[in-house]
Chain A
Amino acid sequence: MRSKKSFALTLIILTIALLCFIVLASTFGTIRIPALDILKITLNKTSFLDFQPTWPTEHETIIFDVRLPRVIGGALVGAALSTTGVLFQGLLRNPMADPYIIGTSAGAALGATVAMMLPISIAFLSFGIVPIFAFIGALITVLVVYNVARVGSRTPVISMLLAGFAISSLLAATMTLLMSINERLQIQLQQVFKFLMGSISNISWEKLAVVAPLVIIGVLIAQLLARHLNAFSLGEEGAGHLGINTEKEKLIFLGLGSLLTATAVSVSGLVGFVGLIIPHALRLVLGPDNRLLLPSSALAGGIFLIIADLAARTMLAPSELPVGALTAIIGAPFFIYLLRRSKKEYMF
């Protein structure tokens, strides 16, 4: 049982680490820009302070218009996916659950593919047609999965998992079919895959203004319901005995997780591994109490994705690698190390 003190300490350490990583990651790129300059540039923008510029103006553009939104965007995506991972692993009581398990990834991928086929160009809240369709696709799919799995007034967890799998397969096959026959997609196959493998290059402050509130509010609501999530580890009956309205809570957790995932996907495409592994890694270190696990996962997930995106945009600069591939390359060995090092048996 963790004391309130160590709880607070863990979160404070993680928050400070996140802020440090945001600054540190912003120093790297095609040009190294010193951390002090970054702080000065950012503070200049707040109009409280006014440092004399000792840097070229393009550094300002690079830091403020290119790197900072990207790094912060990466943190938000990582936080959203990790939080959803914790929610779904707790809700579905399945260690293999990740944010995409109930069809969000297949729905988003199909939505994005359809968007790339259409010769129209729309913009809503500064998001283009591809992220919008991905977002809608993810949410519609979850709705369908939920309703397919529902029996009367109950939605058994196993049914949701199975329905999620079946519908994901159907949507993925549809997407492959479209890619095989549609000329427009054929020509931009590289771009299609870039979306599927994740990339945070299309980001701006306008987009963050939409994404940040969604993610932060989502994470906070999840935190408020953390104790209810703990109850779910006793099974649905057990949780029911504790006074939890299981059907209603299921819907809330599902909706919350799907919204967080859909938001993340609209920013970065499909970034895998984060939502699955961060909760597990932290469980090994901090234990399975969701009241600590949820906020820690959000912060650690943010840090992790910042690191992965840093590698993605610096390893082959000025070219970029898909961040989804790097999350697995960086994360898998680290997770294996944690698993081997843990002396106590893994508590799920």
Chain B
Amino acid sequence: MKLKKATGIIVPFIVILLSALSCNTAVKVAGGITDDLDRTINFDTIPQKVISLAPSNTEILFALGLDDSVVGISDFCDYPDQVNTRSALEDGAVGKIARVGNAFAVNIEAIVALNPDLVIGFGYNMPYYVEPLESQGLTVLILGPESIDDIMANIELVGTIMGIEKTAVELTSQLRDDLATITAKTALVSRPGVFCETGFGGGIWTTGSGSFVSNLVMLAGGTDIGVAVSKSNPNISMEYIVAANPDMIILADAPWVTPADVKARGGAWDSLTAVQNNKIYEVVDANVVSRNGPRVVEGVMALLEIIHPDIYAELQEQTE
């Protein structure tokens, strides 16, 4: 009898205590947040004004519903449309999003003038703009996702920092589910060989082992022959392509090469079954396969449409 009364008080007390603790007015993770360059950053409060220096980061912020917190974006950020159209809020505190340069030419002054609480950059090595910004007292976070899991971790990291961890986990769970649906189907069929061409000039370039495009091709049920070369020097020899004889060629990140160009090359290219059967494809929206952000599922779907059009059609029907 007494126990029942006690639990009647203690349990609600614990619930209230826990919910109070989970209410994130302060993000105090033990040891601080670690970004992708192993830099530790402490956040005392949730950032209110965020600047994003890469399209993938901007997409993460908008996907998490953090539109209002974004005060600055890079020149290349173009998705979603709200980046261009968002206008001042009612209280006039946040206006149109300013453009602050891009990864190659960051406008340090513009960033400092906006006085952001957080700047999110992108890179696998320390970008040059970190030191100038930090010397001005700004907080810089660098994201450099290599795998799909890294992208999920990045989304959740941003969610944690911005106090909306739950939303972030919901988003990543949804993305993981979508990917699982796709891979469940692609696991049942054979994998065609795919050659992903990118760039032009001074040899033949692919994206290399462990690159984003390569990962997407694997998820979409293909085998990327470009995994033989490393991501850092993805120059591939024609011999290797001839020997591997891929079933299709995808121009994944080659904005200035068209399938007609590949067909017209002649020489050893004409010996490839992919060229003979006209299986040279472009990705309609190149951005979804080159930005390591929340549109990863769309990226896989874009490649799935090319590699396994039957599975793609099946999945499209299911969502309608």
Contacts and interface: CB of A to CB of B under 8 A. Distances in A.
A307 to B, nearest CB: 17
Interface in B217-239: 228-230, 233-239
Contacts of A204: 266-267
B264 interface: yes
Contact of B200 (A29, A183, A191, A206): A191
A190 B253 CA distance: 14
Interface stretch (B92-100, B153-161, B201-209, B307-315): B201-209
A194 B203 contact: yes
B199 A319 contact: no
A53 to B, nearest CB: 15
A58 interface: yes
Interface in B270-285: 271
B242 A58 contact: yes
Interface string B37-63: 000000000000000000000000000
B29 to A, nearest CB: 36
A319 B237 CA distance: 6
A122 B271 CA distance: 23
B268 interface: yes
Nearest to A123: B264
A30 B236 CA distance: 11
B238 A66 contact: yes
Query: Which secondary structure characterizes the binding site on chain B?
Result: mixed
Interface stretch (A238-246, A296-304, A310-318, A338-346): A310-318
Residue from A69, A181, A190 having most chain B Cβ neighbours under 10 A: A190
Question: Chain A, interface size: which category?
Answer: 35 or more
Contact of A61 (B104, B205, B233, B242): B242
A190 B204 CA distance: 12
Contact of A66 (B102, B229, B233, B239): B239
Given A121-B261, A186-B104, A191-B200, A319 B234 contact: yes
A201 interface: yes
A123 B230 CA distance: 31
Nearest to A115: B201
Contact of B235 (A62, A121, A320): A320
A201 B234 contact: no
A312 to B, nearest CB: 10
A313 B237 contact: yes
Given A31-B239, A318-B236, A188 B201 contact: yes
A67 B239 contact: yes
A190 B229 CA distance: 15
A199 interface: yes
Most chain A CB atoms below 10 A, which of B228, B230, B235, B261: B235
Interface string A190-225: 111111000101101110000000000000000000
A283 B175 CA distance: 69
Contacts of A190: 199, 205
Contacts of B245: 58
A205 B201 CA distance: 18
Nearest to A184: B256
Interface residues of B, number: 31
Nearest to A314: B237
Contact of A58 (B102, B234, B271): B271
B23 interface: no
B79 interface: no
A116 interface: yes
B233 A316 contact: yes
Contacts of B205: 190-191
Interface string A85-116: 00000000000000000000000000000001
A321 to B, nearest CB: 8
Contacts of B235: 194, 201, 319-320
B234 A269 contact: no
Nearest to A205: B267
B89 interface: no
Interface in B73-124: 102, 104-105
A63 B236 CA distance: 17
B266 A31 contact: no
A130 interface: yes
17 contacts: A61-B242, A62-B239, A66-B242, A69-B267, A123-B264, A188-B200, A188-B201, A191-B200, A191-B205, A192-B201, A199-B202, A201-B237, A202-B202, A204-B266, A319-B229, A319-B233, A320-B237
Interface of B: 102, 104-105, 199-205, 228-230, 233-240, 242-243, 245, 256, 261, 264, 266-268, 271
7 cross-chain pairs, A with B, having the tightest CB-CB distances, nearest first: A194-B202, A65-B268, A318-B240, A204-B267, A201-B203, A61-B271, A191-B201
Given A58-B243, A66-B237, A67-B239, 7 more contacts: A30-B239, A66-B268, A121-B256, A130-B201, A204-B266, A204-B267, A317-B237
